Structure 1
Amino acid sequence: MSDTLAETPLLTTVQKKTVRIRWFLIGFLILGGVVNYLDRSTLSVANTTIAGEFGLNALEMGLLLSAFSWPYAIANLPAGYLVDKFGPKHVFAFAAGAWSLVSMVTAAANSFGVLYALRVALGIAESPFFTASLKVSERWFNKRERALPVALINTGSQIANAIAPPLLTFLLLTMSWRGMFIVVGALGVVVALVWLRIYRDPTLQEQAMIKGAQAQEAIASTEPKVGWGQLLRQRNTWFMVLGAFGIFYTVWVYLTWLPSYLQTARGFSLSQSGWLASLPFLCGIIGVIFGGWLSNRLVARGTSTVRARKIPIVGGAVLAAAAVLPVAYVDNTALAIVLLSLGYFASQIPIGCLWTLASDVAPTNQVASLGAIQNFGGFVGAAIAPAATGAILTATAGNYTLVFLIGGVLLLVGALSYGFFVKDRSGRTA
């Protein structure tokens, strides 16, 4: 029997059903990613409105924008363990229900302190999403196929980033920022209920068809159980953490400060910035898909799986740095937006491959855990980025030059970490 369903020339009825089920689950996870990231984006879109209502300066707003990422980064560690232990069905559903409740309660916030506490709670609640999604991909796709579905799941966040500025700006203008939080939170409740209804793990027969019965038996008989302590003693783990830090830092400068940058540094109105801010994120959708496609293509041509993940990661990060660094010195607004769009496109090429790389180098029973540790490193960068940007803007009277320079340099740090120090240490070639 073939190791992959995709390689089977004539599919049986059971195989056709398996193909439909697994791609349907990926499609729903894309939708879940959209809702997940719309929740995260609400504060960024309402940045100037909330700052005005609560009398917050750039430094205080930066701290508030960072409030999500610190607990999210830390909570990724137990989230990965919980997904490995209890599976993706119930952990994901619980998380979606929790983050939706937090979003709706945020509509009643009446002070900086309450807003900050609720953003902390949102970060904790959202932490299992990508680790659960990675576990679903690991269970329903084999190693050679996995990059594309993981990349597609990550397009959910990019779709949300693209539609969030115009959509959430519309909600903000028509029903206030409080109404915006309620509507987005309600969407997550629907996602949680539907997921509980539709998800199941593959049967033993389906596992054999997806990954190959002999391969599954070999893994079950020879692969030792690896604890977290051993994962943390491996060089790959720490350079994946550092690499993710460098890439995610710049991504989160985009996610948290781009609407404000367009308004304060480029002079656009709230409604205009809502549409313009969507352009880089639309490019990001293409970037994520391209990265997954390229990685799968490289594997099909005989490139080792780890190398096939690293090429899009390193290439994307270097290209993103080359686009972001010049923005610091560009006066022409149209050119700046083109460079920002190219930079975000390139910064998203690695995203799906980062998660797939974790599933390639981790033991089967530690896939979500290693992915969570890597994501922890990324979201330490994501947590620092908004606060550091706010501090820079406060110290420089709103000048973004240093913001873009730091972002470009950290993208290069990410490229170097993955390119030179993350290696296939398992002895496997595929």
Structure 2
Amino acid sequence: MAQQSLTSPSLDSADGLAARKSIRIRWVLVALLVIGGVVNYLDRATLSVANTTITDEFGLSATEMGLLLAAFSWPYAIANLPAGYLVDRFGPKRMYAWAAGLWSLMTMVTAAAHSFGLLYAGRVALGITESPFFTASLKVNERWFAKNERALPVSIVNTGSQIANAIAPPLLTALLLTSGWRGMFVTVGALGIVVMLVWLRIYRDPTLREQALIKGEEAAQAAAEARATSAGQQAGWGALFRQRNTYFMMLGAFGIFYTVWVYLTWLPSYLETSRGFSLSQTGWLSSLPYLCGILGVLFGGLLSGRLIRRGFSAVSSRKVPIVGGAVLAAAAVLPVAYVESTPLAIALLSLGYFAAQVPTGCLWTLASDIAEPHQVASLGAIQNFGGFLGAALAPMVTGAILDATGNNYTLVFLVGGALLLVGALSYQFFVKERRA
């Protein structure tokens, strides 16, 4: 916690002690956001785990499954734009609660689908309803943590998705084998309803006195004014499209997210079809790269925080993990295309996913460093929009490549590695420490 915040002269000793105790709730909120992230990503992972089962039941080609796997991502990308504005406008409590309730309902409804079209519609609805989650999380972080503190809590929140990715293959495979893919969808959807109810019960915004302790009196007053402005006017996210940083953040996120979503949507199928593992074996092996991803997210946040303490600027401290992680991920993913040894391929995939997740928390924190306080969620959402355009293309392009090459993954890994380098170059050379 910043020393300035702890010694704010406007707080007398009794009030200061009470405020210091009261802001401990922020770590409870971080923990709840982690749990929400786990449930959020379990919903997304259901289709990937049930990939081959649903393909057989509905008689789908790889291209058709690619379209189905992408059905979540493109509406999610588009919906991020209004979601960011709505979070800035209405606050994280209401928007996150609505999102969690609706995405859980959509997951359970999808379990009743009996055609490709209904499955597709269910995934589109899931993408739209999940869009406010990370922007709401970023807004919570901006309100409850000072700038020099944010990298770690943002990274911790982002471990929720990686925890889900790690436990999803064995957990969801077990549900799939015991209750079928429809029962799996219903069970995961019900978890989200529980998360929504707990969030409504626990979450609150910090008081002005708590903000004074966290950020100092001047920062707290600025945040209050920004909140009042956003309550009466549009947050002005359209103005962000007139800033060059915005476009290169979108491009950089596109390159990184593309490869991450190749992992998230096609890794189980790759292990089954190219490496010859059974469905139950795939459930456990798929979790190895995702376990490494948890460490990657935490490493990126810790590295960024350490760089700030050593005197680096906030933006530079975010860019080092973002660029370094993307380059290392490319170096690990590209050789997989030519590796015959299965253990070595899994080791490279695990290293690649670790490195690809190092930028995750820092991407979101970078948005809070560059944007004005009343536009933090908006810029984060726009960057996420660019990223999920890549995420939407990844499963479709992969499916098309597999159909064209007879399920050969060589070009899949080459494209993913190249786009990781595009992402690294975009952040390194074109994202500057300016709002212009």
TM-score, shorter chain, exceeding 0.5: yes
Residue of structure 2 in register with 1:106 after alignment:
110
Shift of the alpha carbon at 1:107?
1.0
Residue of structure 2 in register with 1:362 after alignment:
371
- 2:317 is aligned with 1:308: yes
Residue of structure 2 in register with 1:248 after alignment:
257
**How far, CA to CA, are the matches of 2:41 and 2:207 in structure 1?**
31
- 2:210 is aligned with 1:206: yes
- 2:193 is aligned with 1:185: no
**How far, CA to CA, are the matches of 1:268 and 1:218 in structure 2?**
56
When structure 1 is superposed on structure 2, of 134-143 and 218-227 the one drifting more is: 218-227
Q: Which amino acid aligns with 2:89?
A: K
- 2:276 is aligned with 1:272: no
Which of 346, 351, 363 is 2:355 aligned to? 346
Residue of structure 2 in register with 1:154 after alignment:
158
- 2:422 is aligned with 1:421: no
Q: Which amino acid aligns with 1:162?
A: A
Distance change >3 Å, CA 310–CA 6, structure 1 → 2: farther
**How far, CA to CA, are the matches of 1:107 and 1:7 in structure 2?**
54
Distance change >3 Å, CA 220–CA 20, structure 1 → 2: closer
Contact 1:166 1:274 in 2 (8 A): yes
**Which blocks of at least 5 consecutive residues in structure 1 are unaligned?**
none
Contact 1:5 1:19 in 2 (8 A): no
Pairing of 1:383-394 with structure 2 (within 5 A)? 383-394=392-403
Residue of structure 2 in register with 1:70 after alignment:
74
Q: Deviations over 1:327-369 (max 9, x none)?
A: 0000000000000000000000000000000000000000000
Residue of structure 2 in register with 1:89 after alignment:
93
Q: Deviations over 1:31-68 (max 9, x none)?
A: 00000000000000000000000000100000000000
Contact 1:5 1:15 in 2 (8 A): no
When structure 1 is superposed on structure 2, of 98-107 and 221-230 the one drifting more is: 221-230
Aligned residues: 426
Q: Which amino acid aligns with 2:115?
A: S
- 2:245 is aligned with 1:236: yes
Distance change >3 Å, CA 33–CA 221, structure 1 → 2: closer
Q: Which amino acid aligns with 1:373?
A: I
Distance change >3 Å, CA 7–CA 183, structure 1 → 2: farther
- 2:128 is aligned with 1:124: yes
Shift of the alpha carbon at 1:14?
1.9
Shift of the alpha carbon at 1:106?
1.0
Shift of the alpha carbon at 1:20?
1.8
**How far, CA to CA, are the matches of 1:6 and 1:103 in structure 2?**
48
Residue of structure 1 in register with 2:341 after alignment:
332
Contact 2:169 2:283 in 1 (8 A): yes
Shift of the alpha carbon at 1:218?
5.9
Which of 44, 51, 54 is 1:50 aligned to? 54
Shift of the alpha carbon at 1:131?
0.2
Shift of the alpha carbon at 1:7?
11
Shift of the alpha carbon at 1:220?
6.9
Contact 2:163 2:290 in 1 (8 A): yes
Residue of structure 1 in register with 2:143 after alignment:
139
Q: State the secondary structure of the residue aligned to 2:283.
A: helix
**How far, CA to CA, are the matches of 2:208 and 2:42 in structure 1?**
36
- 2:178 is aligned with 1:174: yes
**How far, CA to CA, are the matches of 2:100 and 2:208 in structure 1?**
28
**How far, CA to CA, are the matches of 1:104 and 1:161 in structure 2?**
20
- 2:411 is aligned with 1:407: no
Shift of the alpha carbon at 1:13?
3.1
Q: Deviations over 1:168-193 (max 9, x none)?
A: 00000001000000000000000001
Q: Deviations over 1:140-175 (max 9, x none)?
A: 001000010000000000000000000000000001
- 2:32 is aligned with 1:25: no
Q: State the secondary structure of the residue aligned to 1:404.
A: helix
What TM-score do the two structures reach when normalised by structure 1? 0.96
Residue of structure 1 in register with 2:406 after alignment:
397
Q: State the secondary structure of the residue aligned to 1:3.
A: helix
Contact 2:74 2:392 in 1 (8 A): yes
**Which blocks of at least 5 consecutive residues in structure 2 are unaligned?**
none
Shift of the alpha carbon at 1:17?
2.1
Q: Which amino acid aligns with 1:118?
A: G
Contact 1:96 1:188 in 2 (8 A): yes
Shift of the alpha carbon at 1:425?
1.2
Shift of the alpha carbon at 1:103?
0.6
Which of 277, 301, 304 is 1:295 aligned to? 304
Q: Which amino acid aligns with 1:3?
A: Q
**How far, CA to CA, are the matches of 1:36 and 1:219 in structure 2?**
29
**How far, CA to CA, are the matches of 1:229 and 1:81 in structure 2?**
10
